[in-house]
C-alpha cells in the first residue's frame, strides 16, 4: 500500500498541497475521498476537523470539503454533494485549507494548553474534558470548588505565560520514552490507544508538556491574550472554565 502523507502533523502552517486521488467512495449521502497527501486535520482531542476546497487544475472545477476524519489509518475527506459527481481516482488536485479557520483553531488549541499547564502547575488539577471552536473553547478540571477570584487569577497567569513568548515544540517519541516523562497524560482517563508505538507530544517550553495530536502555533505570542468568559460546576469535583481569544481573527 502506498504511504499517504498526513502533513498536518508535521507542518501545521502548510496551507495547500498538490495531491492525487487515491480512493473515492460515492455510495453514501456524501462522497468520501482519500488523497495520497493532505494538509487537512481530521479532528480529534476536542479540535474540530478542517474545512476547505479541492481544485482540479485541468478544468478549474472545485469541490468543498465540509469535514475530514480518520478511518482505518487514512484521512477521509467528506465533500459537499455535487450534481456533477466527485473527482475520479488518479485525478491531480490542489488541496486548499480554510486557513483563517485553521489558524484560529491553532491559536485556540495552544491557549487551552497554556490554561492546562497553569492549572496543573499551580493547582494539580487533571483534565476531565475539553472542546473548542475557532476562537473559543472550554476545559473541565478536577476542582472541588471554584470562585471568581480563582478564575480571575488563572486568567491573569495564563495571559502572563502567553506574553512570555514561549516556543511551542512538536515531537514524536517512542512509547517507552514518552511514558517515562512524568505527568505526560493530563487527562483523568488515558485516551491513547493501547499498543500505539509512538506518542506525539506538544511542549510549551517552560510551561507545559503533554501528549497531543492537534495543531498548534509555534510561539505563544501568536495566541495573543485570552478572556475567561465563564465558569461552572459540572459535578462534585468537575468544574468547567470557558475562554475566548481576545482577538480571534476569524473570517
As its CATH architecture, domain 5-97 has Beta Barrel (2.40)
Q: Which helix (H) or strand (E) holds 87?
A: none
pTM: 0.93
Task: Give the integer Cα–Cα distance in Å for 110 and 214.
Answer: 9
**What is the full per-residue pLDDT of the chain (251 aa) written as tens digits?**
466 999 999 999 999 999 999 999 999 999 999 999 999 999 998 999 999 999 999 899 999 999 999 999 999 999 999 988 999 999 999 999 999 999 999 999 999 999 999 999 999 999 999 999 999 999 999 998 999 999 999 999 999 999 999 999 999 999 888 888 877 876 655 556 666 788 899 999 999 999 899 999 999 999 999 999 999 999 888 999 999 999 877 65
Task: Give the integer Cα–Cα distance in Å for 141 and 128.
Answer: 5
CA diameter of the chain: 61
Task: Give the integer Cα–Cα distance in Å for 119 and 36.
Answer: 40
Q: Report pLDDT for 1.
A: 42
Task: Give the integer Cα–Cα distance in Å for 198 and 192.
Answer: 10
5-97 with 102-245: one CATH topology?
no
List the domain boundaries for the chain: 5-97, 102-245
Cα dihedral angle (10, 12, 14, 16), rounded to 10 degrees? 110
What are the grid coordinates assigned to 118, written together? 497553569
Which CATH number is 102-245's, of 2.30.30.110, 1.10.150.240, 3.50.50.60, 3.30.980.10? 3.30.980.10
Amino acid at each position: 500500500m502506498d504511504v499517504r502523507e498526513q502533513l498536518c502533523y508535521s507542518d501545521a502552517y502548510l496551507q495547500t498541497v498538490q495531491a492525487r486521488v487515491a480512493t473515492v467512495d460515492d455510495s453514501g449521502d456524501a462522497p468520501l475521498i482519500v488523497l495520497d497527501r493532505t494538509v487537512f486535520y481530521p479532528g480529534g482531542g476536542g479540535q474540530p476537523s478542517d474545512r476547505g476546497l479541492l481544485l482540479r487544475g485541468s478544468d478549474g472545477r472545485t469541490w468543498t470539503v465540509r469535514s475530514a476524519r480518520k478511518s482505518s489509518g487514512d484521512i477521509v475527506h467528506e465533500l459537499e454533494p455535487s450534481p456533477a459527481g466527485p473527482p475520479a481516482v488518479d485525478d491531480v488536485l490542489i488541496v486548499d485549507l480554510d486557513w483563517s479557520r485553521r489558524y484560529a483553531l491553532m491559536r485556540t488549541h495552544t491557549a487551552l494548553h497554556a490554561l492546562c499547564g497553569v492549572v496543573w502547575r499551580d493547582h494539580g488539577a487533571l483534565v476531565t474534558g475539553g472542546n473548542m471552536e475557532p476562537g473559543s473553547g472550554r476545559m473541565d478540571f478536577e476542582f472541588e470548588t471554584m470562585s471568581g477570584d480563582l478564575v480571575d487569577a488563572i486568567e491573569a497567569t495564563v495571559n502572563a505565560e502567553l506574553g512570555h513568548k514561549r516556543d511551542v515544540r512538536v515531537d514524536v517519541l517512542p512509547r517507552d520514552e514518552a511514558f517515562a516523562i512524568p505527568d505526560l497524560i493530563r487527562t483523568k482517563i488515558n485516551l491513547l490507544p493501547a499498543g500505539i508505538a509512538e506518542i506525539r507530544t506538544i511542549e510549551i517550553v517552560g510551561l507545559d508538556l503533554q501528549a497531543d495530536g492537534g495543531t498548534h502555533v509555534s510561539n505563544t505570542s501568536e495566541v495573543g491574550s485570552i478572556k475567561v468568559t465563564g465558569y461552572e460546576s459540572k459535578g462534585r469535583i468537575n468544574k468547567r472554565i470557558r475562554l475566548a481569544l481576545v482577538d480571534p481573527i476569524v473570517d
